């Protein structure tokens, strides 16, 4: 099963501690899948919201299809996520009781169908972000030293 990654949300890894990951389908209309296949997607600043026991993604940017006509889609419309009921209930309970949020990590294609990887995440404080940056910098220095050694 080949997985073609279209876009990733690198900001999510910087701003949040990632706990659990889930795969969700997206309910798309019209020319949205064509724009996704072209890679015209941005996950930055998007998040998952729960309304009446259903999951929706807000602020997911899918650019209008270049060759679309008057039936082209809206770029930042509310899109329904396709998850199992028990997954939605678990996510809703965790978000409301424990102060977590649900953020998208990546969007990809499997067998021609668009899938969204979402994660249960806890926000990082400023000092946590600095600590993560220090660890990444130290790891780069170690790899650089090992590379120059050989």
Query: What's the average pLDDT block by block, 10 residues per block, for the chain (150 residues)?
Result: 88 89 92 90 92 93 84 86 95 89 94 93 84 88 85
The pLDDT score that the predictor gives to residue 1 is 65
For 115, how many CA atoms within 13 A lie in the half-sphere containing its CB?
16
All structural domains of the chain: 3-124 (2.40.280.10)
CB atoms within 10 A of CB 110: 13
Instruction: Give residue for tokens 């509310």.
Output: 78
85 CB-contact burial (10 Å; exposed 0-12 / middle 13-18 / buried 19+)? exposed
Q: How far apart are CA 121 and CA 113, in angstroms?
A: 25
Q: Which of 87, 123, 95 is nearest to 12 (CA)?
A: 123
The model's pTM is 0.81
């Amino acid at each position: 099963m080949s997985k073609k990654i279209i876009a990733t949300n690198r900001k999510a890894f910087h701003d949040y501690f990632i706990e659990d990951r889930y795969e969700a389908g997206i309910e798309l209309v019209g020319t949205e899948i064509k724009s996704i296949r072209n890679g015209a997607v941005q996950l930055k600043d998007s998040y998952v919201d729960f309304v009446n026991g259903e999951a929706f993604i807000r602020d997911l940017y899918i650019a209008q299809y270049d060759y679309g006509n008057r039936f082209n889609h809206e770029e930042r419309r509310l899109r329904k996520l396709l998850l199992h009921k028990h997954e939605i209930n678990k996510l809703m309970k965790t978000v409301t009781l424990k102060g977590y949020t649900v953020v998208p990590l990546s969007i990809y294609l499997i067998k021609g169908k668009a899938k969204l990887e979402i994660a249960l995440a806890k926000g990082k404080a400023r000092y946590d972000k600095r600590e993560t940056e220090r660890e990444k910098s130290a790891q780069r220095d170690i790899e650089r030293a090992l590379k120059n050694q050989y």
